[in-house]
Chain A
């Protein structure tokens, strides 16, 4: 059945754009969370197939959120893709070392987002 993906971003319109793109173009079910804390709660509750995580958020940023997800048995195995302005080779190496699956550059192309996520996760579109 269709994949379920959780989008975590503090900015409402970015959540909505990502949701529209992934739902419409890829046909995935999209859950959203407005903060790292909320994201973790939803991830534990809903066990999505993947998490799309914004890196720069107030309170708990993306990296901290990712680490919390790693610490939890229930969410450890969920692959995480970062949304970030920093996608230089050095940045990518850093993310990889942390165990993050991939990073997608912001601003993203709305029409390509689904295929970028699919490629990062080895999903078919």
Chain B
């Protein structure tokens, strides 16, 4: 719980802070009314303790201001002893309670507690969750009657969850509630405390997942007992939790239902006609038999679609009209009622929809796993969901086709063992390839031999993975493939609860070659953000569950998204809203209704500038490879991955031989031409998981992930070979104004051939971090230079002779 104390008397403020902190509240102090107002606007508080007499803006006015701006947190006034008038107007201004100065600590704490309780979060003075009892009065927590010893932060965390038992809290939100602004630590701190609290709860005998992780959003207290489904529903659509495969089946069934709803409605019509005819004594034997047949079909199928009551009604109807028995008036009336009820029943949404994950956001990328091994497939899908993707599974060829056409995946992971014969698998591959734009397909297999791989390759360009591979590594590759497709287009992510606005924006932005991801439910914000990794974010201000302003704060609090441009979209243009929006960290503001051209211009401008800035910041203008800063980041990233997975990584330092002489002899334009050529050559030779950068003059750095020393040397030798065979046409040393002449192979002399020297170091034997790897590689480079240039040298391994590879 976070409390703001607005008090100009320093001593009083300090005393209040101490008293409240001792109760595990996070306390912040503002020393005048205006400061108090600004803090309320910037941060979330659960309660405000407000002195009446304040400089700049008095407490009563501040209180009025708060209420008129829709802030609803409880306000506790601090008043002088004899100021009955203050109390009255204070309460009128919207304060909830008051405490008379000099205050009694115990009374103050009790009133704070009462207000927090009253503010609607929980009504019980003692909070309970299963066997857990939390008594805010005595600050005691017990489980099964046994006391639990919690740290102040764990205590506050538990209180937050208990008081808001249904709410999900993101790390950012927890930080806001539990820490005051000036002590706000990183999100790891929240995770550490959650971990600690979980361990203690588990040790006390509570389920280990009492505090649930809601993927991509945050944490919440696990709901105690899921409300049991009614027995009728339970019988047909089962009460067990739907696993991914079953969820998929339900989703497909819903589609089938929607497709056949018309047919079912016709079947009910036949029965209705029969009943009408019966009432007017005109029911033919033929119509009766037809109605009976339809009733039979409906009885046998409606339950399957999630209408158990429909099946029951149809069965009753069937039984009544079968045979040729004459029906009396009473039976006629029953029939009429049942048919009406049946009609009513099929018009409502089927049961079973509740088994589907709540509004699984369709804009998240979908991974289809085609694998006969269900356990592995489910693991991969679980991993995909952790990474913000949606997952679907197909255990057979036909399921793969159906799933592929029913919900087009963004990427497919295909195990060819799904097919008994490779040809069938290849036929599927060919089928899937037929669609435009082509869906990237990752083929993985345990036993594909060279011929198989050749056949697979003939079906188009696919990434091939060798089984077995742990699910998290598979996912890493999947994510990389997804990023690769998206790389070309700028990505825009739009969050708005109004589906109409989303589709308008989609239609507006798509033609501009933008990759647009839309999200209607802000609760899936974080995982969507991770998955989509946008270049620009558009947020609606007002949304259910989480407002755009809150989302904006979350983004701004995360260092990775610090530079992401955020545009707000809203119908509210009052200065307060605008102010709030910018305070939260927005870059721009667009008012609704949307004016197409204006919106597009603003977005395109932002993106252009961003690209320009990014290029300027990351790319060496001469050679078009990354600069040192950018490559350092990338290399650190790859080193981290290598450490995590125990993969090899090589770092090479290259230096052009005799660059100084070239510059001196032919002029700098010639030197530039050589550098430009080498840059292009390196970019062509190293890509994907390689890093290429120019660090200084003629010095380039190449990082090769997943490659050992031997492989690295081979690849570098190839580059060196190409470079050495390339003839550069020198520019006139005296130089007219023409820039460097582009290298022309096989042109007439005088030609100049160039070479480079390089040193290679491998992770982790030569060093664990970039600095030590660079040092080792650079030492090897110096050796290469000293021993005659134009060669690649390995950094010496401890107690091993160094090898030289001549180019």
Q: CA separation between A21 and B246, bound complex, in Å?
A: 8
Instruction: Scan A1-21; emit 1 where CB is below 8 A from any B CB, else 0.
Output: 110000000011110110011
Instruction: Among B260, B372, B398, B399, point to the contact of A13 (Cβ < 8 A).
Output: B260
Residues on the A chain within 8 Å of B104, using CB? none
| B305 close to A24 (CB less than 8 A) | no
Instruction: Among A58, A106, A109, point to the contact of B237 (Cβ < 8 A).
Output: A109
Instruction: Among B237, B315, B396, point to the contact of A28 (Cβ < 8 A).
Output: B396
Known: A14-B301, A20-B256. A85 touches B296 (CB 8 A): yes
Known: A14-B300, A14-B304, A109-B237. A27 touches B374 (CB 8 A): yes
Instruction: Scan A47-73; emit 1 where CB is below 8 A from any B CB, else 0.
Output: 000000000101000000000000000
A86 to chain B, nearest CB (A): 11
B336 to chain A, nearest CB (A): 23
Chain A residue at minimal CB-CB distance from B238: A111
Q: CA separation between A17 and B301, bound complex, in Å?
A: 9
Q: Does B109 contact A (CB under 8 A)?
A: no
Q: CA separation between A12 and B253, bound complex, in Å?
A: 13
Q: CA separation between A60 and B264, bound complex, in Å?
A: 23
Known: A27-B374, A111-B246, A111-B249. A13 touches B256 (CB 8 A): yes
Residues on the B chain within 8 Å of A107, using CB? 236, 299-304, 308, 311
| A111 close to B242 (CB less than 8 A) | yes
| A110 close to B304 (CB less than 8 A) | yes
Instruction: Among B264, B297, B396, point to the contact of A23 (Cβ < 8 A).
Output: B396
Q: Does A34 contact B (CB under 8 A)?
A: no
Q: Does A25 contact B (CB under 8 A)?
A: yes
| B238 close to A27 (CB less than 8 A) | no
Chain B residue at minimal CB-CB distance from A24: B249
Q: Does A112 contact B (CB under 8 A)?
A: yes
Q: CA separation between A83 and B297, bound complex, in Å?
A: 12
A77 to chain B, nearest CB (A): 21
Give the size range of A's interface with the partner.
20 to 34
Give the size range of B's interface with the partner.
35 or more
Chain A residue at minimal CB-CB distance from B374: A27
Q: CA separation between A20 and B396, bound complex, in Å?
A: 11
Q: Does A123 contact B (CB under 8 A)?
A: no
Chain A residue at minimal CB-CB distance from B315: A85
CB contacts under 8 Å to B, within A19-37, are 20-21, 23-30
Known: A20-B253, A20-B402, A111-B246. A106 touches B395 (CB 8 A): no
| A20 close to B249 (CB less than 8 A) | yes
Q: Does B397 contact A (CB under 8 A)?
A: yes
| A2 close to B396 (CB less than 8 A) | yes
Q: CA separation between A2 and B546, bound complex, in Å?
A: 46
| A106 close to B253 (CB less than 8 A) | no
* Interface SS, B side: helix
| A17 close to B253 (CB less than 8 A) | yes
Instruction: Scan B257-298; emit 1 where CB is below 8 A from any A CB, else 0.
Output: 001100110000000000000000000000000000100110
Residues on the A chain within 8 Å of B293, using CB? 58
| B245 close to A24 (CB less than 8 A) | yes
A32 to chain B, nearest CB (A): 11
Chain A residue at minimal CB-CB distance from B401: A23
| A21 close to B249 (CB less than 8 A) | yes
Q: CA separation between A18 and B802, bound complex, in Å?
A: 67
A54 to chain B, nearest CB (A): 8
Residues on the A chain within 8 Å of B403, using CB? 24
Instruction: Among B238, B300, B302, point to the contact of A85 (Cβ < 8 A).
Output: B300
B178 to chain A, nearest CB (A): 42
Residues on the A chain within 8 Å of B299, using CB? 85, 106-107
Residues on the B chain within 8 Å of A1, using CB? 372, 420
Residues on the A chain within 8 Å of B256, using CB? 13, 16-17, 20
Instruction: Scan B218-244; emit 1 where CB is below 8 A from any A CB, else 0.
Output: 000000000000000001111000100
Q: CA separation between A107 and B248, bound complex, in Å?
A: 20
Instruction: Among B235, B303, B398, point to the contact of A29 (Cβ < 8 A).
Output: B398
Q: CA separation between A88 and B308, bound complex, in Å?
A: 19
Instruction: Among B236, B252, B372, point to the contact of A20 (Cβ < 8 A).
Output: B252
Residues on the A chain within 8 Å of B248, using CB? 24
Q: CA separation between A5 and B126, bound complex, in Å?
A: 59
Chain A residue at minimal CB-CB distance from B307: A107
Q: CA separation between A13 and B263, bound complex, in Å?
A: 9
Residues on the B chain within 8 Å of A25, using CB? 245-246, 249
Residues on the A chain within 8 Å of B399, using CB? 23-24, 27
Residues on the A chain within 8 Å of B264, using CB? 13
Q: CA separation between A24 and B393, bound complex, in Å?
A: 8
Q: CA separation between A23 and B403, bound complex, in Å?
A: 10
Residues on the A chain within 8 Å of B413, using CB? none
Q: CA separation between A14 and B302, bound complex, in Å?
A: 10
Instruction: Among A13, A29, A109, A111, point to the contact of B301 (Cβ < 8 A).
Output: A13
Residues on A close to B: CB < 8 A?
1-2, 11-14, 16-17, 20-21, 23-30, 56, 58, 83, 85, 106-112
19 A–B pairs (Cβ distance < 8 Å), ordered by A:
A13-B259, A14-B300, A14-B301, A20-B402, A21-B253, A23-B395, A23-B398, A27-B396, A29-B396, A29-B397, A29-B398, A85-B299, A109-B303, A110-B250, A110-B304, A110-B352, A111-B237, A111-B238, A111-B250
Instruction: Please name the 5 residue pairs, one residue from A and one from B, whose CB atoms are nearest each other, closest first.
Output: A27-B395, A107-B303, A106-B300, A13-B260, A23-B399
